[in-house]
Amino acid sequence: EVQLQASGGGLVQAGGSLRLSCAASGFTFDDYAIGWFRQAPGKEREGVSCISSSDGATYYADSVKGRFTISSDNAKNTVYLQMNSLKPEDTAVYYCAAAIGLPANPSYQNEYDYWGQGTQVTVSS
């Protein structure tokens, strides 16, 4: 059974940091890319970042470049999203998802095959 378990969300003040984790099981981790998406209340789900487990290629949305860093620990089948300099507009439910290979458009949610449950990130001003 494929499972993606996102964790690490919480409440933080603006300028603070959080690290999200996405633990994967039930599929060959090295064959997949793992992406992070977020959805704020009343807004569309948007792609935040993605990493290829096979070659480490990464993607970042313009809104998080320079502040967020995605990494992968293949031995643990886990992808991390280090979020620094957080802003109130980063407040959202964050989801991780898995796609076979590297998506042609990493920000497009239809490219992903499996989804985990979300973890809430709240940034106070």
Q: Write down the pLDDT at residue 27.
A: 86
Residue 8: pLDDT band by 50, 70, 90 thresholds? Answer: very high
C-alpha distances (whole Å) from 55 to each of 1, 10, 112 are 25, 30, 18
Q: Write down the pLDDT at residue 10.
A: 98
Q: Write down the pLDDT at residue 28.
A: 85
Alpha-carbon span 125 to 117, nearest angstrom:
26
Span 42-69, average pLDDT: 95
Helix or strand holding residue 121 (H, E):
strand 119-124
Instruction: For residue range 96-113, list pLDDT tens digits in order.
Output: 999 988 888 999 999 999
Instruction: Report whether pLDDT(35) > 90.
Output: yes
Instruction: For residue range 85-96, list pLDDT tens digits in order.
Output: 999 999 999 999
